């Protein structure tokens, strides 16, 4: 009902629409209309009420409300089901719960803030209220668990493309899935899965996109290594529009994987990579070494030329050595 | 306290031990001793009480009670923490819950019955009360999710060895992890995991071992394809002793993997395999074909020679074609 009322207010494009008209079109009482308007105002919508003219929408709140996300969303499945929170420990944790309880593919979990945001390798992720897009996507692919790491590469490619399309910023991907701009991290991705050996129960792709965080809002220890899109462009960016763009790029790429496998994803990943061709330090599970990142293989492993050998890196930390 | 009382009763080896003596040794009141004896009787222990002589243990119940499992268990970690149930849907489901809430490596979940036992490829597993060993083991290995399928092979090897040691039955492994005797299934294994791309959160290895089920107790459709150890030996088998043997073999093999990797597991798997060398029908995710199973590779994939090609089978159903 609230979403139908919002649709009518939006269609009026800032003009008044009478309570009587709304009640008639939605076949509800005027009291019901009044109650829903009240709730919308509480949710943060700026709605002007006028005793004779009716209602008009002045401003939507700067929140990732499900109604707002869906308004203009061009996807088929991704983001059609939305679990919205004001604050959670980690959207990935919520997503795993929803997925274990049967949430369908494409469901997203969105929170305005995370107080226990997690990144790769047990690191934290700074997720201040309303400053970024902190969300997780549930997938239920038909492939084997061995293919899952490539979903992470897919997500990185999709987000880089969405950022470029929406903001014009050309960011790069540091293997496997950090998104950097001039060496500073603007997006982190954490992929988790539940699987049997014969198939995947579900994959959760969690993304943290620093959208409008200001330099001084970052904790001091992050200021030299992190940035937000607004810091780069110098102006506030619509989280809603960017999230819709991200969901669309992700869905399109995921459909492509379903049809053609991961080869196109790997090809696009190579194009956007800032790791390939660089001297890197690898801190792996079993060994640490330096070398030159030359390619990724069909499994998504980073190939690093070290001395005479080319080593395959499947996990761990790969840092790019600054040029002298 | 109950476990200390049981220890004293066992040490008496069927002789009487007075309530006064028990109270003294455990530093509790005689009323407390009386209460615990009452509870032990309710739990199924046959304890004779005599007003002057005291208590003596006549028989332990035919249940997989934690106290009984631990009595004589030679492992370091496996089975030291036990979650015991009379009946659950699936021990794997319980195990995943415990693991997600932090249960330590080696924790086992045991149930006398499962009403929703699950096998590979979404098949059910018949798990009648007290007739088999239905349990799940929680592991937290340091290797990558790509290695997880080999844990399944490891479990199959350990169980085949424990069955041989404890019952003398020489069973074989059908790829990847069914255990057969003369073509009939006596054990099924279902491995599940929760992972990030950089590491495994936990693995749950669920096993269903048909121990004392009688032919006529199996549902009709299973009678030609399933069997129990007791059907083969012609006598009832101690589930407790077999479970302890399985836990010990599993722990030893798992420690070996930690030291030497999976190569020794794969070598032992080959020895116990009934699939290798056979004509097989493969029903895979993407294709079905026939061929001859020639080996497993270092990832645990089955290699099947089909026409000119050798195909790698990582998942799906592989049936052995009966000889003409």
- Note down pLDDT in tens along chain A; length 324 residues: 888 899 999 988 889 999 999 999 999 998 999 999 999 998 889 999 988 889 999 988 889 999 899 999 999 999 999 999 999 999 999 999 999 999 999 999 999 999 988 887 778 899 999 999 999 999 999 999 989 999 999 999 999 999 999 999 999 999 998 999 999 999 999 999 999 988 999 999 999 999 999 999 999 999 999 999 999 999 999 999 999 999 999 999 999 999 999 999 999 999 999 999 999 999 977 789 999 999 999 999 999 999 999 999 988 889 988 765
User: Looking at beta carbons, which residues of chain A come within 8 Å of B192?
Assistant: 194-196, 201
Asked if B102 is an interface residue toward chain A (Cβ–Cβ < 8 A), one would say no
Number of Cβ pairs < 8 A linking chain A and chain B = 70
Of A142, A195, A314, the CB nearest to B144: A314
Of B121, B193, B199, the CB nearest to A198: B121
In order of A46, A76, A85, A232, B117, the CA distances from A72 in angstroms are: 20, 12, 21, 26, 45
Check whether domain B279-320 has CATH 2.60.120.10, yes or no = no
Taking only the tens place, the pLDDT of each residue in B213-232 is: 999 999 999 999 999 999 99
Chain A residue with CA closest to B192: the answer is: A196
Q: How far is B12 from chain A (nearest CA, A)?
A: 47
C-beta separation of B312 from B303 below 8 A:
yes
Asked if B191 is an interface residue toward chain A (Cβ–Cβ < 8 A), one would say yes
Asked if B32 is an interface residue toward chain A (Cβ–Cβ < 8 A), one would say no
What is the spatial distance between Cα B194 and Cα A38, in angstroms, rounded to a whole number?
44
Inter-chain touch A198–B152, beta carbons under 8 Å: no
User: Looking at beta carbons, which residues of chain A come within 8 Å of B149?
Assistant: 197
Asked if B128 is an interface residue toward chain A (Cβ–Cβ < 8 A), one would say no
User: Looking at beta carbons, which residues of chain B come within 8 Å of A152?
Assistant: 197
Would you tell me how many other CB atoms lie within 10 Å of the CB of residue B288? Answer: 11
Instruction: Indicate whether B2 pLDDT > 90.
Output: no
User: Looking at beta carbons, which residues of chain B come within 8 Å of A314?
Assistant: 144, 146
Q: How far is A259 from chain B (nearest CA, A)?
A: 13
Task: Determine phi and psi for B22, rounding to 5 degrees.
Answer: -60, -45
User: Looking at beta carbons, which residues of chain A come within 8 Å of B146?
Assistant: 146, 314
Inter-chain touch A198–B146, beta carbons under 8 Å: no
User: Looking at beta carbons, which residues of chain B come within 8 Å of A198?
Assistant: 120-121, 315-316
Residues contacting A309, CB < 8 A, separation 6+: none
Fold of A66-272: BirA Bifunctional Protein; domain 2 (3.30.930)
Q: How far is A20 from chain B (nearest CA, A)?
A: 53
User: Looking at beta carbons, which residues of chain A come within 8 Å of B190?
Assistant: 196
Q: How far is B118 from chain A (nearest CA, A)?
A: 11
Q: How far is A222 from chain B (nearest CA, A)?
A: 23
Q: How far is A254 from chain B (nearest CA, A)?
A: 18
Chain B interface, best mutation among A92, A196, A200, by max B CB count within 10 A? A196
User: What are the structural domain ranges in chain A?
Assistant: 2-59, 66-272, 279-320
What is the spatial distance between Cα A221 and Cα A218, in angstroms, rounded to a whole number?
8
Asked if A205 is an interface residue toward chain B (Cβ–Cβ < 8 A), one would say no
DSSP structural state of residue A215: G
Q: How confident is the model at residue B323 (pLDDT cuts 50, 70, 90)?
A: low
Question: How big is chain B by its Cα radius of gyration, in Å?
Answer: 22
Query: What's the rounded mean pLDDT across residues B63-86?
Result: 95
What is the spatial distance between Cα B135 and Cα B68, in angstroms, rounded to a whole number?
15
Query: What's the rounded mean pLDDT across residues B34-40?
Result: 91
Label residues B101-126 b or e (16+ Cβ within 10 Å = b). Answer: eebebbbbbbbbbbeebbbbeeeebb
Q: Return the structure tokens found at B80.
A: 């030291």
At A152 the pLDDT is 92
Asked if B92 is an interface residue toward chain A (Cβ–Cβ < 8 A), one would say no
Of B192, B199, B315, the CB nearest to A144: B315
Complex ipTM over 0.85: no
Chain A interface, best mutation among B196, B261, B284, B285, by max A CB count within 10 A? B196
Of A149, A198, A314, the CB nearest to B316: A198
Chain B, window 37-66: residues with a beta carbon less than 8 angstroms from a chain A beta carbon:
none
Chain A residue with CA closest to B299: the answer is: A146
DSSP structural state of residue B322: P
Residues contacting B214, CB < 8 A, separation 6+: B131, B228, B230, B231
Fold of B2-59: Arc Repressor Mutant, subunit A (1.10.10)
Chain B residue with CA closest to A118: the answer is: B196
3-state secondary structure of B270: helix
Taking only the tens place, the pLDDT of each residue in B123-154 is: 889 999 999 999 999 999 999 998 999 999 99
Inter-chain touch B195–A196, beta carbons under 8 Å: no
User: Looking at beta carbons, which residues of chain A come within 8 Å of B96?
Assistant: 194
pTM of the full structure: 0.87
User: Looking at beta carbons, which residues of chain A come within 8 Å of B193?
Assistant: 145, 194-195
Inter-chain touch A285–B144, beta carbons under 8 Å: yes
Sign of the CA dihedral running A154, A155, A157, A161: positive
At B44 the pLDDT is 86
At A284 the pLDDT is 79
């Amino acid at each position: 009902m609230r979403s139908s009322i919002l649709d009518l207010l939006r269609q009026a494009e800032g003009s008044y629409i009478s309570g009587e008209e709304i009640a008639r079109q939605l076949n509800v009482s005027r009291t019901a209309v009044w109650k829903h308007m009240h709730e919308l105002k509480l949710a943060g919508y700026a709605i002007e009420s006028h005793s004779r003219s009716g209602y008009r929408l002045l401003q939507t709140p700067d929140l990732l409300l499900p109604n707002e996300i869906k308004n203009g969303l061009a996807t088929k499945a991704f983001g059609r089901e939305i679990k919205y929170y004001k604050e959670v420990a980690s959207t990935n944790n919520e997503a795993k719960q929803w997925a274990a309880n049967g949430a369908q593919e494409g469901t997203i979990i969105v929170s305005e803030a995370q107080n226990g945001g997690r990144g790769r390798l047990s690191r934290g992720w700074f997720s201040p209220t309303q400053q970024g897009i902190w969300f997780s996507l549930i997938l239920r692919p038909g492939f084997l668990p061995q293919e899952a790491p490539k979903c992470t590469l897919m997500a990185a490619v999709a987000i880089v493309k969405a950022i470029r399309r929406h903001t014009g910023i050309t960011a790069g991907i540091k293997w496997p899935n950090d998104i950097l701009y001039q060496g500073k991290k603007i997006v982190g991705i954490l992929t988790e899965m539940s699987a049997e050996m014969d198939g995947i129960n579900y994959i959760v792709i969690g993304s943290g996109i620093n959208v409008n965080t200001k330099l001084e809002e970052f904790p001091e220890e992050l200021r030299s290594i992190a940035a937000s899109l607004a810091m780069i462009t110098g102006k506030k960016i619509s989280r809603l529009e960017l999230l819709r763009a991200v969901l669309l790029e992700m869905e399109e790429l995921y459909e492509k994987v379903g049809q053609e496998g991961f080869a196109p994803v790997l090809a696009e990943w190579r194009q956007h990579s800032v790791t390939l061709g660089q001297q890197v330090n690898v801190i792996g599970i079993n060994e640490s070494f330096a070398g030159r990142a030359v390619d990724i293989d069909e499994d998504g492993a980073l190939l690093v030329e070290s001395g005479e050998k080319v080593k395959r890196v499947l996990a761990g930390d790969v840092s790019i050595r600054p040029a002298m």
